[in-house]
Amino acid sequence: MHLTVPLLINPKAGSLFRSGLKSWLDDHRNDFTLVPTTSAEDLTARARELAEAGEPVIAAAGGDGTLMNAAQGLVGTQASLGILPCGTMNVFSRELGIGSRRFDIALDAIQNGARQEVDIFTVNDRPFLQMAGFGPDASIVKLITPKLKRNMGAAAHIITGLQVAVRHHPLITVTLPDGKSMSGTQIIMGNGKRYGGEAHLFADARYDDGKLDAAIIHQESMPILFEILGCMLQRGATRSNVSEFTNLCTFEECEITAEGTIDYQLDGDYAGTLHPGESVVIRRIPGRLRVCIPRTPIPTTPLGRFMSHPMVYAWRSFLRRAKDF
Ligand SMILES: [Mg+2]
């Protein structure tokens, strides 16, 4: 039976056109019923309504921010989220093996793929999908304007990164439910392995183990960046490859306080500022989010991804056919 899936979409989003999704959708009219949305809240509400109406799969087109809004409506329901990743980074989609802007793979995951349950954590009741950062990395994304992101893509992070690196960074403390606490100047929490694009920050994180992985980095300025980059170059931090200034841990719940004013980001978007005397609580939502994932995930090595690129794939099948001929 052919499954026609409701697709939550912001018809005015520029990413729709930039990513090529708009023209791809023109060729796949029979696979989706478009559900136009007007705002983030509207998208969450429509997702929830469709789930309550008994739709087995509800798709959303967008980057990590849009997917989070859809997830907010779907978490704890029986409906599965179908992902059409047309954002800039698409970290959550990569984590689930769907890749970035690979709409054929995304459609195959929706129609023939497996269903995976994923943990959703919240910061002061605001959910995020992939990661949360407290400190300099959040100050960096706070400085990135939509225009800069659009024009420069990932390079925007490097430019604003240098601006933030020269500042002083207040001490941030993570307190676990058992009273144990750890401090650092940059805290990063991951629901999965990836931090930005394809870069892995947590080598052993899993999105279905009920826990967040955290790196608590106690460094000044530039060394924070080097520590993060060093971990990413080694495909993620493990206890054996981080410096003595970084603590790795996992937890289900924690509280964060800071001795000075700090910023925090959720899934790469600036989410708020924490002042001395205030705290934020991070915890898991009891229900899980069901997501459509491909039976064969996209390879995570650079060579594997290159070989599975649609152009390379088409060329390889052409060569195979030519050989048989
Ligand atoms: Mg986990």
Which pair of structure tokens corresponds to residue 233?
A: 């170059």
Q: Residue 306 has what pLDDT?
A: 73
Task: With CA atoms as reference, report the closest residue to 50 among 28, 16, 83, 79.
Answer: 79
pLDDT for residue 323 is more than 80: no
300-304 contacts: CB < 8 A, separation 24 or more?
A: 300/198, 302/198
How many angstroms separate the alpha carbon of residue 233 from the centre of ligand 1? Answer: 21
**Scanning the structure block, which residue is given the tokens 């940059």?**
186
The rounded distance, in Å, linking the Cα atoms of 90 and 101 is: 8
Instruction: Find the 125 Cα to ligand 1 centroid distance in Å.
Output: 18
Distance 21 CA to ligand 1 centre (A): 30
Q: Where in the chain is the domain with CATH 2.60.200.40?
A: 123-284
Distance from residue 299's CA to the centre of ligand 1 (Å): 21
* CA 214 / ligand 1 centre spacing (Å): 10
Tracing tokens 């994923």 back to the chain, one arrives at: 118
Task: Determine the distance separating the centroid of ligand 1 and the alpha carbon of 215, expressed in angstroms.
Answer: 13
Region 290-318: what's the mean pLDDT? Answer: 77
Say yes or no to pLDDT of 299 above 80: no
CA of 238 to the centre of ligand 1 (A): 14
- For residue 55, give the amino acid letter: E
Contacts of 5 (CB under 8 A, 6+ apart): 31, 32, 33, 55, 57, 58, 59, 82, 110
Report CA(253)–ligand 1 centroid distance (Å).
12
Q: Is 3.40.50.300 the CATH number for 5-118?
A: no
Residues of the chain with CATH 3.40.50.10330: 5-118
- Mean of pLDDT over the chain: 90
**Residue 220 pLDDT greater than 90, yes or no:** no
Confidence (pLDDT) at 65: 87
Q: 250 alpha carbon to ligand 1 midpoint, in Å?
A: 8
- The domain defined by 123-284 carries CATH number 3.40.50.2300: no
Residue carrying the six token digits 């047309």: 86
The model carries a pTM of 0.86
Confidence at residue 13, expressed as pLDDT on a 0 to 100 scale? 86
Q: Express each pLDDT in 180-211 by its tens digit.
A: 999 999 999 999 999 887 888 999 999 999 99
| CA 219 – ligand 1 centroid, Å | 25
Write down the pLDDT at residue 282.
Answer: 98
Give the number of other Cβ atoms within 10 Å of residue 219's Cβ. Answer: 19
Tokens of 137: 């990395």
Closest CA to 258 of 175, 153, 160, 192: 175
pLDDT at 1 over 70: no
Tens digit of each residue's pLDDT (9 = 90 or more) over 124-155: 999 999 999 999 999 998 998 878 877 877 77
Cα of 308 to ligand 1 centre, how many Å? 27
Binning pLDDT at 50, 70 and 90, where does residue 322 land? Answer: confident
Secondary structure (3-state) at 145 = coil
What does the pLDDT average to over 41-66? 96
CA of 87 to the centre of ligand 1 (A): 23
